[in-house]
Amino acid sequence: MDLGGGNYNFHYTPVFTLIWATFFKIFGVANWVSRLFPIIFSLGSIAVFYQIVKKYFSLKTAIIACFLWIATPMFIYFGKMPIHEIPLMFFVLLTFWFYLNNNFKKTIFSTIFAMLVTWPGFFLVPVLTLFNRKYLVLFPIAFLLFGLHLTHDYFVTGDFLGGGLREILLTRLAGVSIIPYVSLLARWAWTYYFLLIPLSFLGILTQLTRPRRLCIDIVFLFFIYAIIYPIVFRDASYRHDYLLIYFWPFLALSSALVINRKLLAILIILLTLYSRWDFILALQNSSLYRESVKIGEYAKNKTRPGDKIQVISFDKTLPFDGWFAGYYSDRPAIYTTNPDEINPEYKTFYYFSGGKIKAGAEISNNGTK
């Protein structure tokens, strides 16, 4: 991704950005478009999940599992967020659908697309190989795609691990103390998934006592894929609660397997919504980087395309995010709290306590600088 000013971001494989850009090209650049594309992929994930569960379990289980999925705070809030995990989940489930239907070529193609969406798509390779050795062919394909990404990085930045890739890999692979790590993930899981946690354990037990081998494999297929990310990337999972998204299919399916009455399913869904309603509202009304959005919008109206902006804040408590400011200004953005660190190549904007924003030129003209 070109961030402007000779800066590039190679943190991710390219397809997520291309999908987002395609939606902008078709519908225009707007916030509602940024919400539209994850909503479409979220609904697509549920549709594929429904087909899998209906075919290999039952229609009733499929309906209950889908409603359990939809009722979680994780889906209600993050299901409309333009983050990599949303389109990836669709392609992961699509890959599993092709795999379960013994469609080798489509499984390979869908896995490649998942890998090009973002890095956890690569986890499909060991998971599929674990269940069927003929998918060993995916390993050289995965190495080839990773090599192409590094080669592209080298040609653009002069460094195979440039564009922030080295730094983000080292950060994501950093160790986190196991006890506080597991404790935090357990609290997040209970907060976002509530009763699906104990129900899923019961669901696993019910499957282990049944002779239907394929159904057991599907449950563990979902589980093994979900558990790889928090094992490999402990730092990222410790920082970002939404990475528990990968447990969506496993928890919804395994929980639905122990609910044999529609009335019981309705009660569990209503209890989930009731017990988590205040939390859902808090998520919906969260605005940690609202000021960064305001700064970006203000700067866009005061600058021209091609300009770069610098934000100097006199409020050191401001939770500034350069991605938000850069997105809403459509300009490369940097930030400092030191008024002496003025870069003449950037248009300067000052942020004052109370939310007041002024352009550097306006301050000079008013004689206040």
CA distance 307 to 90: 37
Question: For the chain, what percent of residues have pLDDT higher than 70?
Answer: 95
Whole-number pLDDT of residue 4: 47
Whole-number pLDDT of residue 116: 97
CA distance 346 to 311: 9
| pLDDT above 50 for 52 | yes
pLDDT band at 148 (very low <50, low <70, confident <90, very high): very high
pTM, entire model: 0.88
Spatial neighbors of 155 by CB under 8 A, at least 6 apart, are: none
| pLDDT above 70 for 282 | yes
Mean pLDDT value across residues 332-336: 87
Whole-number pLDDT of residue 6: 52
Identify the helix (H) or strand (E) that includes residue 174.
none
CA distance 249 to 66: 9
CA distance 218 to 267: 26
CA distance 216 to 234: 27
Q: Report residue 137: phi and psi, to 5°.
A: -60, -20
Mean pLDDT value across residues 286-301: 88
- Pick the closest to residue 114 from 124, 104, 105 (CA basis): 124
pLDDT band at 29 (very low <50, low <70, confident <90, very high): confident
